[in-house]
Amino acid sequence: MAKRVVADSYGGPEVLSLVDVEVPPPGRGEVTVQVKAAGVNPVDYKLYGGAFGSDPSSLPMPVGQELAGVVTAVGEDAEGPGGRLSVGDEVIAFQISGAYATDVTVPASQVVPKPPELSWEKAAGLLLTGATAVHALAVVGVSQGDTILVHGASGGVGLMAVQLAVAVGAKVVGTAGEERQELVRRYGATPVVYGAGLEERVRAAAPEGVHAAVDTAGTAEAVDVSLALVPDPSRIVSVIAFDRADTGIKLIGNGPGADPGTKIRSDAWRDLVPLARGGMVDVVVARTYPLSEAAEAHRFLAEGHPGGKVVLLP
């Protein structure tokens, strides 16, 4: 028997429970993975919170979309994007259902090699925020010599966007709270405090101008300051501000009218894994919780300022 976190109904973190489940043996094109760590993301609690619908047939709902672990069983024709999978492989599974578990059987097509340079905790937090950041930077066309403004630069997606932009040779200015300034600076960005006077502080930090902006905060301030600083609104992208489509900015993710970027996100591991192996991308883990405290992990993440990734440990 394995342990799995499920949502028994739609609602807040109180609907989560840890249950015993049978793990089916892998069929054709599947593998079973012993979970070493599972990444926690806002989309996890939005799903059982009803943000994307409340179909009762989806209950009890397995929770979690990304994990790092070890392959323990392999079905016929179990070919992952990185090649044939074998028992004992250390892997990351991304865009799956039910990652909050001790063991899970998943499609091999969603399983890629784990960078040995990353701990289990860091590896479990690499791909969802990383894929979002890859998508965001591709949408606004960030390249060497650009100056990019990243709002929410100390969050999971924000820190990834900072590192990826620095890796391609861009200059980065990142907004964060007072207590996160050093964290943003550590990863290669010039930090500025958000709040009144933000536009002036960014202009001072980037006197040559700002070419593009990535908004992971979703505030009116983030969008308005980006519009004031970036000459072309199509080089501003937001993962949250879905109500600002009329400004000409680009929207990505699961919101109304947003570009889901299915292909680019599925392929993002091809950039992220080599960068992690080369030390160009790191995952900041803000806090870990045991699997049994998934509800507490969600409450902490929902506060909005985790300072990195939250990870569950079976």
Write the pLDDT tens digit of every residue in 279-298: 999 999 999 999 999 999 99
User: What stretch(es) of the chain map to CATH 3.90.180.10?
Assistant: 2-126+283-313
Q: Which CATH superfamily is domain 2-126+283-313 in?
A: Medium-chain alcohol dehydrogenases, catalytic domain (3.90.180.10)
Q: What are the tens digits of pLDDT across the range 130-153?
A: 999 999 999 999 999 999 999 999
Q: Which of 243, 248, 252 is nearest to 233 (CA)?
A: 248
CA 113 remoteness from chain centre: 18
Q: What is the pTM of this model?
A: 0.94
How does residue 254 score in pLDDT terms, banded at 50, 70 and 90? confident
pLDDT in tens, 57-94: 999 999 999 999 999 999 999 999 999 999 999 999 99
Length of the chain: 314
Tens digits of per-residue pLDDT, 178-204?
Answer: 999 999 999 999 999 999 999 999 999
Q: How far apart are the first and last CA of the chain?
A: 14
Closest CA to 64 of 87, 92, 91, 94: 94
- The pLDDT of residue 305 is above 80: no
- Let me know: does 147 contact 170? Beta carbons within 8 Å: yes
Q: Which residues pair with 7 in a beta bridge?
A: 16, 61
Mean pLDDT of 87-107: 97
pLDDT of residue 264: 97
Q: What is the pLDDT of residue 130?
A: 97
Q: Are 48 and 97 in contact (CB under 8 A)?
A: no
> CATH 3.40.50.720 residue ranges in the chain?
128-262
224-232: list long-range contacts, CB under 8 Å, 24+ apart. 225/149, 225/151, 225/198, 225/199, 226/149, 226/151, 228/199, 229/149, 229/199, 229/202, 229/203, 230/149
Q: Of the CATH numbers 3.20.20.10, 3.40.50.300, 3.40.50.720, 3.40.50.510, which one belongs to the domain with range 128-262? A: 3.40.50.720
